[in-house]
Amino acid sequence: MKITVFVTPKKNVLDPQGVAVTHAMHTLGFESAKEVHVGKTIAFEVDGSDTPEFRASLDKLCTDLLSNPVIEDYRYELS
Amino acid sequence: MKITVFVTPKKNVLDPQGVAVTHAMHTLGFESAKEVHVGKTIAFEVDGSDTPEFRASLDKLCTDLLSNPVIEDYRYELS
């Protein structure tokens, strides 16, 4: 099973990387760029099937390892 | 217009972050995790419409600023 986890900074948290990219975009001609948010994706394959127990362990993995729940949100897609 | 750029390491390039996350997943009980790839997403809003010229400038932005085309691939979604 292929899993992709998307981690994004929470909306109300300062995102210095996003601010830096915004400035760079303005310099490079994208003057209208705004609301820039830089996140990360973690794609991986794992054995198993989509059960409630599996989702619970995946949520634990996301909060313990893949994201910082204080400042980041996550969502995932299974395929 | 909302744009999301997905940047991922090329398949044949060593991905040390992916290797580190793989080891951590194995330690945390996901023994079967494999093919872990860590990428990044850049989401932003920009004025304009979806024209060939706009796509060309977006491609240039992706190769010049948002990704390193030597070791990374990118794709984007417009909405």
User: Do the Cβ atoms of A15 and A38 come closer than 8 Å?
Assistant: yes
B2-78 folds as Mth169; Chain: A , (3.30.1280)
Listed by start position, the domains of chain B span 2-78
CA proximity to A66, closest of A44, A50, A42: A42
Residue-level pLDDT at A48:
87
* Chain B interface, best mutation among A41, A59, A76, A77, by max B CB count within 10 A: A41
pLDDT digits (tens, 9 = 90+) for A10-53: 988 888 999 999 999 999 989 999 999 999 999 999 998 999 99
- The partner residue sitting opposite B35, judged by closest CB among A33, A38, A44, is A44
For residue B22, the chain A residues in CB contact (below 8 A) are 44
* CB atoms closer than 10 angstroms to residue A42: 24
For residue B43, the chain A residues in CB contact (below 8 A) are 8, 35-37, 39
pLDDT digits (tens, 9 = 90+) for B35-74: 999 999 999 999 989 999 999 999 999 999 999 999 999 9
Flag if B44 and A32 touch (Cβ within 8 Å).
Answer: no
Backbone angles phi, psi at A21, to 5 degrees: -65, -35
ipTM of the complex: 0.87
Q: Determine the Cα–Cα distance for residues A37 and A27; give it in Å rounded to an integer.
A: 17
pLDDT digits (tens, 9 = 90+) for A56-79: 999 999 999 999 999 999 999 999
User: Do the Cβ atoms of B3 and A32 come closer than 8 Å?
Assistant: no
Provide the 3-class DSSP secondary structure of residue A49.
Answer: coil
User: Do the Cβ atoms of B73 and B15 come closer than 8 Å?
Assistant: no
